[in-house]
Amino acid sequence: MTTGAGPARESSAAPDGDRKAAGRTRSAFDRCVRPAAAGLRFSTTGSVLFLFAALSSAVSAGCHQGPAGPTSVTILSLSPSTGPPGTAVTLVGSGFSPTLNTINFGNGTVSGVSSNGTNLIFTVPTTLIPACANSIPPCPFALQPTSAGVYNVSVTNALGTSNVVMFMVTN
């Protein structure tokens, strides 16, 4: 704050990465507010307004969030890895959505998926529904019985498609 008559002093806000202690991780202020303030000029009497503007900018840029969540879909394990149609299978991994996950099973997709964000549970289908059946417009398709053999399993959601793991269908 300035006192007395006369114009308010001006200062320049700029990132100050040189003053951080060696080995210290950057704070949210250093990551979000300092970059938002870089190069802006403000009077000391307007610093509260400036700080609000910088924080608003940082929040709208997503800096208000905690640690970043997964940026891709990854399957870490599949259990069990063999079984007949009707077997309940649990996928453990990261990047699963609580909803809107599609299990790709062989050349088809599986519906009725249950998820808590790190585990997906699905049932090995007795018939495969081709993935194009869910497209717009849907393709003409015929249900194919799930026969014994090895099937690629992956997960697709808004983050993309996961790595592939194998499931062996037995009779």
Instruction: Compute the average pLDDT of residues 62-91.
Output: 83
Domain total for the chain? 2
Indicate if 40 and 120 belong to the same structural domain.
no
Look at residue 166 and give its three-state secondary structure.
Answer: strand
Tell me, yes or no, whether 86 and 42 share the same domain.
no
**pTM for this prediction:** 0.58
163 and 79 fall within a common domain: yes
CB 124 within 8 A of CB 142: no
Report the share of the chain in percent with pLDDT over 70: 58
Alpha carbon distance 140, 133 (integer Å): 7
167 and 86 in contact (C-beta within 8 Å)? no
**Residue closest to 151 by CA, chosen among 116, 124, 133:** 124
Say yes or no: 81 and 165 in one domain: yes
* 80 plus 55 within the same structural domain: no
Domain check: are 105 and 30 in the same one? no
Q: Which tens digit of pLDDT belongs to each residue from 86-145? A: 999 999 999 998 888 999 999 888 877 888 888 999 999 998 877 777 778 877 766 788
106: domain range?
74-169
Query: H or E segment at 22?
Result: none
* 81 and 138 belong to one structural domain: yes
Work out the average pLDDT over 41-65: 47
Residues 42 and 95 in one domain: no
Rounded to whole angstroms, the Cα distance separating 105 from 123 reads 10
